């Protein structure tokens, strides 16, 4: 492992640009749960275990129509949890790194928790491919997307019911987070599309630069984040993927680097 760490350090030192790709494992060292498998999900939500729903069943937009109090118990609790969470030191070490690289960076994440923004990364340099919990939209999908900063959701965790249901600012219908859920035809992609346009422009501009892709805590169940880094590394002769993950740490290209550690420890090791 020491060799991998040394290699990663060198790649990062020599890089002109940094792409940080992150899945829910990035939040684990800040105290947030990942949802690794149904067992992992139920460990984070014993109440949902009693109901017998998997993550994909729970993260389904149909609940906002069938049982908004249950839907908002799940998302309201997560909204409150992410609001209360302080990003771990790894976020700030990465922030220092991208400052050293003249802010030539982008964040590509499936996380909906807003922790990169909270740590001070530039809003214009973050692509949230699955949306965010910190913005809401209408369940009918016909109205806009708005910031949730003035919204409060109270949850009775014993009964697993929301005590209030956020409403659409235009029609008064049930609101929902602007998160892409499972079997979701109503998710409004406008905000993520704008982020994606900025990301596409950036990745095109750095085509001839040395790129270090630092991936932290991206899972295998929905591998969009992993595949993004793997593909760029494969297509881009000057790119190297550094994969930090305590369990799913394998890499497939000779040039890519595996760091089988947790997020905070892995970041510390490669940036020290
Ligand atoms: N915080 C969030 O925003 C959040 C949380 C859970 C799920 N989700 C959503 O659920 C889906 C699940 O995707 P996923 O692949 O991110 O999660 P996942 O739960 O499937 O996988 C988590 C990954 O993190 C790794 N991990 C565990 N502990 C770690 C640590 N201390 N440091 C670094 N890595 C660690 C695991 O080995 C695993 O590979 C996504 O669509 C995502 O939008 C989001
Ligand atoms: Zn509406």
User: Has this prediction a pTM greater than 0.95?
Assistant: yes
**Please, which residues have CB less than 5 A from ligand 2, an ion?**
138, 143, 168, 170-171, 173
Q: What is the DSSP string of 71-132?
A: HHHHHHHHHHHHHHPPPPHHHHHHHHHHHHTTT-EEEEE---S-HHHHHT--GGGEEETTEE
Q: Where are the domains of the chain?
A: 2-271
Task: Kindly identify the ligand whose nearest atom is closest to the C-alpha of 115.
Answer: 1
Mutate to test the pocket of ligand 1, among 22, 32, 34 (most ligand atoms within 8 A of CB): 34
Q: Is the CB of 260 under 6 A from ligand 1?
A: no
Least Cα distance to 18 among 216, 221, 268 occurs for 216
Q: Is the CB of 32 under 6 A from ligand 1?
A: yes
* The ligand 1 atom nearest the CA atom of 36: 19
Residue where the block lists tokens 């050293």: 100
Q: What is the mean pLDDT of each run of 10 residues along the chain (272 residues)?
A: 95 98 98 91 93 95 98 98 98 98 98 98 98 97 95 96 96 97 96 98 96 98 96 96 98 97 98 94
Task: Kindly identify the ligand whose nearest atom is closest to the C-alpha of 171.
Answer: 2
Whether 246 contacts 34, CB under 8 Å = no
What pLDDT shows up at residue 262? 98
Least Cα distance to 24 among 42, 37, 9 occurs for 37
What pLDDT shows up at residue 1? 82
What pLDDT shows up at residue 69? 98
Query: At the fourth CATH level, which superfamily is domain 2-271?
Result: TPP-binding domain (3.40.50.1220)
**End-to-end distance of the chain based on CA atoms, in angstroms?**
15
Task: Kindly identify the ligand whose nearest atom is closest to the C-alpha of 139.
Answer: 2
What pLDDT shows up at residue 37? 87
What pLDDT shows up at residue 54? 95
């Amino acid at each position: 492992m020491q060799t991998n760490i040394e290699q990663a350090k060198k790649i990062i030192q020599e890089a002109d640009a940094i792409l940080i790709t992150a899945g829910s494992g990035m939040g684990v060292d800040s105290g947030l749960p990942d949802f690794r498998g149904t067992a992992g999900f139920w460990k984070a939500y014993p109440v949902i275990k009693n109901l017998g729903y998997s993550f994909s069943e729970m993260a389904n937009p149909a609940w906002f129509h069938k049982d908004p109090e249950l839907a908002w118990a799940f998302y309201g609790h997560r909204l409150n949890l992410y609001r209360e969470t302080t990003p771990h030191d790894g976020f700030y070490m990465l922030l220092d790194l991208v400052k050293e690289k003249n802010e030539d960076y982008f964040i590509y994440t499936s996380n909906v928790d807003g922790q990169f923004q909270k740590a001070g990364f530039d809003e214009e340099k973050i692509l949230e491919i699955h949306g965010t919990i910190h913005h809401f939209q209408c369940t009918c999908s016909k109205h806009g997307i708005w910031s949730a900063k003035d919204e409060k959701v109270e949850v009775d965790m014993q009964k697993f019911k929301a005590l209030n249901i956020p409403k659409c600012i235009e029609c008064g219908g049930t609101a929902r987070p602007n998160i892409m859920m499972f079997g979701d035809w109503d998710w409004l992609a406008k905000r993520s599309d704008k982020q994606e346009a900025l990301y596409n422009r950036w990745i095109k501009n750095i085509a001839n630069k040395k790129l270090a892709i630092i991936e932290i805590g991206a899972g295998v169940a929905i591998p969009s984040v992993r595949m993004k880094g793997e593909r760029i590394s494969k297509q881009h002769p000057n790119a190297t993927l550094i994969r930090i993950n305590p369990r799913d740490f394998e890499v497939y290209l000779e040039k890519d680097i595996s760091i089988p550690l947790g997020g905070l420890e892995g970041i510390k090791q490669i940036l020290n």
